């Protein structure tokens, strides 16, 4: 990296991103192979992965891997807050703010040809949405998935037809998750004209001053005024 | 070789037409009559390759004046002199009491089960339903093979049971048991008869009864566990199934609400991304043009 740049993602975040991406891919592949089990392509994939028991094993292995990655991230946040006395609630953090809604409205106005681009800070509203979709989604998928994994134990304290409800939530959320992560996230973070062909920042962790000025002008200004967090 | 002459061409065309006709008709000749439409005519070569291939005709078709058992399946042998003999149903006219000689347990279970009870009530076709199945509706007595594997038998059950219970077959195929067993061929999954029994065919309305069926694979299953709805359909539900009807409605309602939610979220985000890409393309092209 010859151009001046700032660190945007820590080593831990970069590694966890890859783990979550791989785990999520495995979950989607095995889960939808089961759901579309009657089709020729799903039967070909199932045959390669060891049939229904192979799919079940892989799905659970990927689930544990993905869930562990999110838990490690949350443990790091707790350590950062409690032991390192860091701040999680600044304007450059990941918590949603009222400004994000204003940014969304303004951004859509810009798409329709009205007004200027919002002065995005370190993390934009769509990046926060991608982040919270994973943090919340992994928990609802994980909880409903556990009900489907251990139905006997869960029916010890809840009605058996809750297994049906868990299955529906698991299915619909899987459709949403795949539609968002494998299409919206890839397109918005990597494939849209501005960042085409790929945003490598999540892999090497850095963002050039040039890009910060054009894509996160609010953040750049805050850095110049000495109040933004940029490491 | 004068192959290109008109004479040869005519022959060639004829041969082509004939083979096309054979190709079209061939599968029809080769296939067995589907279960439920037994024929009076038997293909002895295929019979010899089946599970009953070592038996002689008379072992199952003795000349009889009257039925040799009682019960709904007992029938007299039709009168061979009767002009309507061959147009009567071969499947419905057979005296299935003969099966009992070798298949005693299956016979007894069938007679304790819901299909025998339905037959006893009389001709169900009058109420618009199919008549309850007899042995040969599910078991091809002449061509059926022995020692088939669980998955093959299970898939056949989905088709045969599903012919009269289509809503149950469809919901089974949407359920994990159907996805893993029928669709992906996992022999440890549950097929129709694993829960309902092959011959008594219980409907498992009572929680205790259903729990017993679950326990065959899920030893810790309780009646509450058995509240899980394998067939979320209201088809065939009676006034005594109000609890299940409520659960099915709840399952459908949640599915509908979540589907609308998913369509809104995904639809908004796809539109958002599409607009965004258009705007950036326009921006790039305009800058390029300057």
* Residue B31: pLDDT band with limits 50, 70, 90: very low
- Counting DSSP H helices and E strands in chain A, the numbers are 11, 2
Q: Considering the domain boundaries, does residue A107 fall inside one?
A: no
User: Does A34 contact B180 at a Cβ distance shorter than 8 Å?
Assistant: yes
With respect to residue A225, please indicate whether it lies within any of the assigned structural domains.
no
- Supply the pLDDT for residue A4: 87
For A42, the closest chain B residue by CA position comes to B184
- Chain B residues in contact with A43 (beta carbon < 8 A): 183-184
Domain boundaries, chain B: 37-121, 148-231, 242-290
pLDDT value at position B32? Answer: 39
Identify the pLDDT of residue B29: 37
Give the total number of structural domains in chain A: 1
B217 within 8 A of A132, measured Cβ to Cβ: no
> d(Cα B285, Cα B98) in Å, to the nearest integer?
84
- Is the pLDDT score of B27 beyond 50? no
Q: Give B211 to chain A, closest Cα distance, Å.
A: 11
Q: Is residue A129 part of a domain?
A: yes
pLDDT surpassing 50 at residue A226: yes
**Distance (Å, rounded) from C-alpha A177 to C-alpha A141?**
10
Nearest CA in chain A to B275: A111
Average pLDDT over residues B144-157: 92
Q: What is the pLDDT of residues B219-229, one digit of tens each?
A: 999 999 999 99
Report the pLDDT value the prediction gives residue B129, as an integer from 0 to 100.
Answer: 65
CATH of residue A157: 1.20.950.20
Q: Distance (Å, rounded) from C-alpha A3 to C-alpha A75? A: 34
Instruction: Please check whether residue A228 lies inside any domain of the structure.
Output: no
Is the model more confident about B69 or about B257? B257
pLDDT higher than 60, residue A104: yes
- Enumerate residues 6+ apart whose C-beta is below 8 A from A61: A26
B184 DSSP 8-state letter: T
* Closest chain A C-alpha to B213 CA, distance in angstroms: 14
Out of A38, A111, A165, name the one closest to residue B254 (CB).
Answer: A165
pLDDT at B16 over 70: no
Identity of the residue in A38, A56, A192 whose CB atom sits nearest the CB atom of B276 = A192
Other Cβ atoms less than 10 A from the Cβ of B290: the count is 4
Judging contacts by C-beta atoms under 8 Å, the chain B residues touching residue A156 are 222, 224
pLDDT band of B5, cuts 50, 70, 90 = low
Q: Would A222 be classed as within a structural domain?
A: no
Give the angle B187-B193-B195 at the CA atoms, nearest 5°.
90
Task: Please identify among residues 100-159 of chain A the ones whose CB lies closer than 8 Å to any CB of chain B.
Answer: 107-108, 110-113, 148, 151-153, 155-156, 159
- Three-class SS state of A5: strand
Q: Which of A25-39, B11-25, B50-64, B140-154 has the lowest mean pLDDT?
A: B11-25
Tokens, residue A21: 């991406």
Q: Which residues of B touch A159 (CB under 8 A)?
A: 224, 227
Of A130-134, B8-12, B113-117, B266-270, minimum mean pLDDT range: B8-12
pLDDT at B128: 60
Residues of chain B with Cβ-Cβ distance to A168 below 8 Å are 251, 254-255, 258
d(C-alpha A93, C-alpha A87), whole Å: 8
Mean pLDDT of the residues in chain B: 83
Q: Would the pLDDT of A134 be above 80?
A: yes
A1 in Cβ contact with A206 (< 8 Å): yes
| Band of residue A88 on the pLDDT scale cut at 50, 70, 90 | confident
Candidate from A53-67, B53-67, B141-155 with smallest mean pLDDT: B53-67
Whose CA is closest to B228, among B214, B215, B242? B214
Q: Which of A52, A53, A184 sits opposite B269 (nearest CB)?
A: A184
Please tell me the predicted confidence (pLDDT) of residue A141.
96
Partners of B250 on chain A (C-beta within 8 Å) are 161, 165
Question: B137: pLDDT confidence band, cut at 50, 70 and 90?
Answer: confident
Residue A16, in any domain of the structure: yes
- For residues A219 and A228, is the Cβ–Cβ distance under 8 A? yes
How far does the CA of residue B95 sit from the closest CA of chain A (Å)? Answer: 39
Domain coverage including residue A72:
5-86+125-215
* B6: enclosing H helix or E strand: helix B6-30
Rounded to whole angstroms, the Cα distance separating B88 from B68 reads 20
Which tokens hold the place of A150?
């251990």
Chain A nearest CA to B106, separation (Å): 31
The tokens of A77 are what? 């946040």
Q: For residues B40-47, give the mean pLDDT.
A: 87
pLDDT of residue B78: 67
CB A27 within 8 A of CB A69: no
Q: Is the pLDDT of residue B19 over 50?
A: yes
How many Cβ atoms are within 10 Å of B6's Cβ, its own excluded?
Answer: 7
Q: Which residue of B has its CA nearest to A191?
A: B277
- Angle subtended at Cα B105 by Cα B102 and Cα B108, rounded to the nearest 5 degrees: 110
Q: Are A20 and A66 in contact (CB under 8 A)?
A: yes
Interface of A with B in 183-212 (CB under 8 A): 183-184, 187-188, 192-194
Each residue's pLDDT tens digit, B80-114: 677 777 777 778 878 888 899 999 999 999 999 98
Give the pLDDT band (50/70/90) at residue B121: confident
Split at pLDDT 50, 70, 90, the class of B216 is: very high
Determine the pLDDT at residue B231.
95
pLDDT at position B33: 40
């Amino acid at each position: 990296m010859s151009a001046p740049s700032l660190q945007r993602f820590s080593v831990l975040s970069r590694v966890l991103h890859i783990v979550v991406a791989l785990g999520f891919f495995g979950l989607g592949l095995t889960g939808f192979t089961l759901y579309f089990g009657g089709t020729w392509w799903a039967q070909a994939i199932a045959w390669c992965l060891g049939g229904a028991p192979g799919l079940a094993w892989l799905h659970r292995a990927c689930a544990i891997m993905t869930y562990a990655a999110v838990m490690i991230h949350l443990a790091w946040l707790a350590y950062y807050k409690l032991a390192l006395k860091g701040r999680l609630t600044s304007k450059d953090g990941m918590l949603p703010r009222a400004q994000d809604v204003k940014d969304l409205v303004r951004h859509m106005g810009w798409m329709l040809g009205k007004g200027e681009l919002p002065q995005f800070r370190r993390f934009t509203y769509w990046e926060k949405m991608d982040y919270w979709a994973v943090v919340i989604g992994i928990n609802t998928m994980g909880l409903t998935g556990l009900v489907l994994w251990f139905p006997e134990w869960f029916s010890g304290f809840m009605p058996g037809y809750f297994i049906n409800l868990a299955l529906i939530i698991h299915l619909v959320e899987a459709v949403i998750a795949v539609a968002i992560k494998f299409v919206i996230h890839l397109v918005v973070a990597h494939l849209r004209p501005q960042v085409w062909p790929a945003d490598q920042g999540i892999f090497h962790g850095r963002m050039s001053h040039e890009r910060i000025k054009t894509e996160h002008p609010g953040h750049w200004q805050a850095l110049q005024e000495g109040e933004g967090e940029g490491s | 070789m004068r192959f290109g002459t008109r004479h040869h061409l005519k022959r060639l065309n004829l041969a082509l037409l004939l083979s096309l006709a054979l190709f079209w008709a061939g599968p029809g000749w080769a296939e067995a009559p589907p279960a439920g439409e037994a024929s009076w005519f038997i293909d002895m070569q295929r019979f010899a390759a089946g599970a009953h291939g070592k038996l002689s005709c008379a072992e199952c078709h003795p000349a009889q004046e009257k039925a040799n058992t009682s019960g709904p399946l007992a029938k007299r042998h039709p009168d061979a002199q009767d002009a309507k003999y061959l147009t009567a149903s071969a499947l419905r006219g057979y005296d299935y009491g003969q099966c009992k000689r070798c298949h005693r347990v299956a016979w007894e279970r069938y007679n304790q089960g819901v299909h025998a009870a339905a037959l006893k009530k009389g001709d169900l076709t009058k109420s618009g339903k199919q008549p309850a199945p007899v042995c040969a509706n599910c078991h091809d007595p002449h061509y059926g093979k022995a020692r088939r594997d669980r998955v093959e038998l299970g898939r056949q059950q989905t088709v045969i049971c599903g012919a009269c219970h289509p809503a149950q077959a469809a919901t089974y195929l949407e359920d994990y048991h159907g996805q893993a067993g029928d669709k992906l061929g996992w022999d440890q999954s549950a097929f129709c008869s694993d829960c309902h029994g092959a011959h008594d065919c219980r409907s498992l309305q009572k929680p205790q009864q259903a729990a017993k069926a679950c326990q065959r694979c899920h030893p810790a299953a309780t009646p509450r566990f058995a509240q899980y709805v394998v067939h979320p359909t209201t088809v065939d539900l009676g006034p005594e199934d109000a609890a299940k009807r409520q659960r099915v409605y709840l399952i459908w309602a949640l599915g509908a609400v979540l589907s609308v939610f998913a369509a809104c979220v995904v639809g908004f985000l796809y539109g958002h991304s599409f607009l965004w890409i258009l705007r950036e393309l326009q921006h790039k092209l305009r800058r390029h043009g300057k």
